[in-house]
């Protein structure tokens, strides 16, 4: 992935404020199906997805907040519509991984702390994080509010789609010698016509047991064009996350 493509996903997080932000090829989520999912907003615009770790802590991608003042950010929890309903909480501060690189998106992980506690209920629950690597060819699920196509059409409800993990070697083979996929990444693939897109960044990739295994980071090609999406591997950063959430 070159700098332009890396920045495309980064800038995509900024572009969703106008509402063009949904997953490509997804289905509508049901109430309470992804209770750990949150929308990260700046003002009235959706910026990225994130996941709840505890009543004061949100996990997301570093590129979602890089360069944004914490006091301008808030989160919405417990609603299928990022613009309506749910609990709203202002962000107090955030911690980006110390080795995060804003061009290559290496170490693309961030912990956000909230000013007020989230109140848990049926529709709002913390995520369970994976502490061991995800094997290849595992069934996974991605919820999000990203583009439904590129360019996209507006849909205000949370969508999701199914995909499968790829081996590191198979994912590297598709890079065409660009040397950007590292062992800190998790690659997943759904086929042509389905995939993460702008606005899905920072959201949780989960396995069929609901355990979060990845964080949406970037895409090898434009959304849903038959190439893998690249996720920050949660198990790689498990200790870092635990040490920065308190």
Q: Which domains occur in the chain, in start order? A: 3-17+35-126+238-244 (2.40.10.10), 128-233 (2.40.10.10)
Q: What is the pLDDT of residue 10?
A: 40
Whether the CB-CB separation of 52 and 38 falls below 8 Å is answered with yes
Instruction: For residue 205, give the H/E element and its range.
Output: strand 204-207
Q: How many CB atoms lie within 10 A of CB 218?
A: 26
200 catalytic, yes or no? no
Q: What is the pLDDT of residue 116?
A: 98
Of 63, 97, 198, 244, the active-site residue reads 63
Q: What is the pLDDT of residue 147?
A: 65
Whether the CB-CB separation of 28 and 157 falls below 8 Å is answered with yes
201 catalytic, yes or no? yes
Whether the CB-CB separation of 67 and 10 falls below 8 Å is answered with no
Q: Quick check: helix, strand or coil at residue 241?
A: helix
What residues have CB less than 8 Å from 74, skipping those under 6 apart? 40, 41, 88, 89, 90, 91
Of 79, 155, 201, 217, the active-site residue reads 201
Q: What is the pLDDT of residue 3?
A: 37
For the chain (length 246 residues), average pLDDT per consecutive 10? 38 32 70 97 92 98 97 97 95 98 94 98 97 97 79 71 93 77 92 77 96 92 74 98 92
Confidence (pTM): 0.89
Q: Which residues pair with 214 in a beta bridge?
A: 205, 233
Of 39, 79, 89, 108, the active-site residue reads 108
């Amino acid at each position: 992935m070159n700098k332009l493509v890396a920045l495309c996903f980064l800038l995509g997080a900024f572009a969703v404020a106008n509402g063009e932000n949904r997953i490509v090829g997804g289905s509508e989520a049901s109430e309470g199906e992804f209770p750990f999912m949150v929308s990260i907003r700046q003002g009235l615009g959706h910026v990225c997805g994130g996941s709840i770790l505890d009543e004061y802590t949100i996990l997301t991608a570093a590129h979602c907040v890089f360069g944004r003042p914490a006091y301008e950010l808030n989160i919405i929890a417990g609603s299928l519509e990022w613009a309506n309903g749910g609990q709203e909480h202002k962000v107090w501060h955030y911690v980006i991984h110390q080795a995060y690189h804003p061009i290559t998106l290496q170490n693309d992980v961030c912990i956000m702390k909230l000013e007020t506690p989230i109140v848990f209920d049926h529709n709002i629950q913390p995520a369970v994080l994976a502490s061991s690597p995800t094997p290849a060819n595992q069934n996974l699920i991605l919820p999000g509010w990203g583009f439904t196509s590129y360019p996209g059409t507006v849909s205000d409800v949370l969508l999701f789609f199914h995909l499968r993990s790829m081996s590191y070697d198979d994912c590297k083979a598709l890079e065409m010698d660009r040397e950007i996929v590292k062992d800190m990444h998790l690659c997943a693939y759904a086929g042509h016509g389905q995939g993460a897109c702008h606005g899905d960044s920072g959201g949780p990739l989960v396995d069929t047991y609901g355990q979060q295994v990845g964080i949406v980071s970037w895409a090898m090609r434009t959304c849903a064009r038959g190439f893998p999406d690249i996720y920050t591997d949660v198990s790689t950063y498990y200790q870092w996350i635990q040490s920065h959430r308190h």
